[in-house]
Amino acid sequence: MNADIISALQQLTRDDPDHLLRPRAVLAAAAPAASPLHACFEWDNRRAGEAYRLEQARTLIRTVQIANPEALERTATIMFVSLAGDRTRPGGGYRLVEEVLFAADLRAAMLATAQRELQSWMQRYRMFEALVASVAQAAQVEVPPPPQPRRAARVTQTV
């Protein structure tokens, strides 16, 4: 991500009375074609509408929960999971938890996905050393190295 985008986002944070970066403010700042944020958005409403509806479908899939009527505890659990390998397929996809639980290869893929996501989470919050250390201990995984001091904000994701 280029420095102009980062600078624009930092300015929006400074301009906000609560020093928060708000999605509506980002969208408003991105609207002018000359804005460095403009290219980060889809401005064709037909394509943007389709992308939004796909995101709504993903949210729906992630939030569906079921209760196991045979379990002693009536705790609801997710009905679908997204495996890392499925995310690389065109259109992505979700699998029934039941299917994943009863297939050894899918269970292994889910465990690998969960471990990657845990490592990613620990990396994202590594500046909170005590929190990351307690999570790592509970999960019996290695703690990532502490963050290095930065001179300027750098984002490695490309738009």
Residue 29: closest CA among 13, 47, 18, 45: 13
Residue 154 pLDDT greater than 90, yes or no? no
Using one digit for the tens of pLDDT, what is the confidence trace for 22-31? 899 999 999 9
Pairing between strand 80-81 and 76-78?
A: unpaired
Residue 75 pLDDT greater than 90, yes or no? no
Average model confidence (pLDDT) across the chain: 83
pLDDT of residue 72: 58
Please state the domain extents for the chain. 1-41, 96-159
pTM score of the predicted model: 0.62
Question: Do 79 and 65 touch, CB atoms closer than 8 A?
Answer: yes
Question: Do 142 and 153 touch, CB atoms closer than 8 A?
Answer: no
Q: Which residues contact 14 (CB under 8 A, 6 or more apart)?
A: none
Question: Do 51 and 43 touch, CB atoms closer than 8 A?
Answer: no
% of the chain residues with pLDDT over 90: 36
pLDDT of residue 9: 93
Whether the CA torsion 35, 26, 20, 54 is positive or negative: it is negative
Residue 143 pLDDT greater than 70, yes or no? no
Higher pLDDT, 107 or 134: 107
